[in-house]
Amino acid sequence: MGLLPSILDPRSVIMLAGIMGLMMALVVFFMRRSYPRSIQGLGEWALAPLVAFVSTLLFAARGFLPDFVSVVVANFVLYQACILYYAGSQKFLQGRSDTRLWTLLNGVLALAMFWFSAIKPDFGVRLLLVTLAVSALFLVHALLYMRQPVLVFGQRLMTGLLLTQSFVAALRFVSALSGMAGSSLMDATWIQSLYISMYSLTVLLLSIAVILMATDRVHTEFEYLATHDPLTGALNRRAVLDACRTAVASGHRRVALLMVDLDYFKEVNDRFGHQMGDAVLREAVVRMQGAIGNAGLLGRYGGEEFIVLLPDADTAEAMAVAQRLKQAIDQPFAANSPMAAVGSIAVSIGVAAGDGGTRVDDVLAKADAALYRAKAMGRDQVMAAA
């Protein structure tokens, strides 16, 4: 039994946690430079263990530095590191962060630390306040992930770590209430050793979870870019044609295709510039996707031309979707819209359908021919394949 306290000497474990945090901060910092800027939160996640490292230096100096530094400042800095982890998660999951209330709580906590260290010294009360605040922050942080519809492995690891750390902090809070927490941070009690050791492990695993989440996000973005048009967000040509072939190969009884072309789109670019043209394309896609709903898939075939895949639809059903789509695109742009000067745009649509044994290329050729007939007959209309 005499060996255990020496192995789990609080001062040594605190320093070990700080060193591990410093190393993981450097890892996340350098990895951050290789990730796209669209992945937010990495800056806060890299800074958090670095700030925590500063706090461990201050905690480890307990008894050598004034209590204001090793108690008040140390706790303030450590809690701010926890807040930075939370801010990073907010940015990663939501694109923005707001930790003002937690920072305000940290300021109040610092005042309480000062009061119960310099004015009315009481380690037990300080421990109660800190562990309660830490447990609450980690629990709220975990709930942020638990509200996500899908959790990848890195997010599940992060959630488990946060819940575990919240539980251990709550356990330490209960031990303080029951008088089992000791009289000093450096007392090698079992609950003290458990709490500090768990913190050391959490610092390491949190950074690993961060790296896993960021890497998964990179893969997701690359997969998205490989299948979607970067301007409009619709499926790109290869992806929509692959979807058409998959629909036929999967045994759908019928497959219908719409070939959609924005009429006189070149004039929009010539009169208003390509930026306006890009805005019109994006708005057209939004309207088309709204009109199609869950009935099919929309892909950009090239330029201002699009394909709509309608699995298990016959010609009549496809014509109904085409008319709904045309009506949506025909609506004038709102007066307060940046595209108001364009007024409105028209669209020509070719419709074709085939049974399960029909080749996709044949249905596509028929829809394309119907589209050109619609254009030849004056544009701004829907035409079914002959």
DSSP string covering 108-125, please?
A: HHHHHHHIIIIIS--HHH
Distant-in-sequence, close-in-space partners of 321: CB < 8 Å, separation ≥ 6: 258, 291, 292, 295, 296, 308, 310, 313
Q: What count of residues does the chain have?
A: 386
**126-130: which pairs have CB atoms within 8 A and are 24 or more residues apart?**
126/71, 126/75, 127/172, 127/173, 127/176, 127/181, 128/173, 128/176, 128/177, 130/75, 130/79
How many angstroms separate the CA atoms of 289 and 234, rounded?
9
CA-to-CA dists, residue 23 to 15, 46, 201, 241, angstroms: 12, 10, 13, 47
How many angstroms separate the CA atoms of 132 and 213, rounded?
28
How many angstroms separate the CA atoms of 319 and 369, rounded?
15
Number of CB atoms found within 10 A of residue 33's CB? 8
The single residue listed with the structure tokens 């044994």 is 357
Determine whether 44 is an active site residue: no
The single residue listed with the structure tokens 């070719």 is 350
As beta bridge partners, residue 311 has 255
Set 221, 304, 305, 317: catalytic member = 304
Is 310 in contact with 256 (CB distance < 8 Å)? yes
Catalytic residue list? 304
